Amino acid sequence: MTVFSKSLLLFLLNWLDAQLTVLWVRGGVATEGNGLMAYLLDLGNAPFLSAKLAIGALVAYTLYRFSHLALARRGLHFVLALYLALMGVHAATGASALGWHPPEALATVFRLFS
């Protein structure tokens, strides 16, 4: 996968995160954990989405532009891993919102690590 593809994937995951955040917060399923982003979301969807996408685009472009540096390449991989983990959180939130409850054994594992 090229650096451009990874940077594009990062931006797309950022966009998906923004859309799912609006869905879960407006649906009363979750709250926004970032105080600044919560404030922007309180102002409306447009301010929140504009800021979230602008920041995501700037980060994706910066990591792409400086991909000749090892630090930027490692940073891109790190941020992609974080966003992929975040997509797991969004999936769990969606499953919970739809009424799915994990088996007791799985819930016990999560309790051990919390």
Q: What is the mean pLDDT of residues 7-35?
A: 94
pLDDT at 30: 87
pLDDT at 109: 63
What are the boundaries of each domain within the chain?
Answer: 3-112
With a cut of 90, say whether residue 10 has pLDDT above it: yes
Quick one: three-class SS letters along the chain? CCHHHHHHHHHHHHHHHHHHHHHHHHCCCCCCCCHHHHHHHHHCHHHHHHHHHHHHHHHHHHHHHCCCCHHHHHHHHHHHHHHHHHHHHHHHHHHHHCCCCCCHHHHHHHHHCC
- 75-112 pLDDT per residue, tens: 999 999 999 999 988 888 888 888 877 666 566 766 77
The model's pTM: 0.83
Q: What is the mean pLDDT of residues 2-19?
A: 96
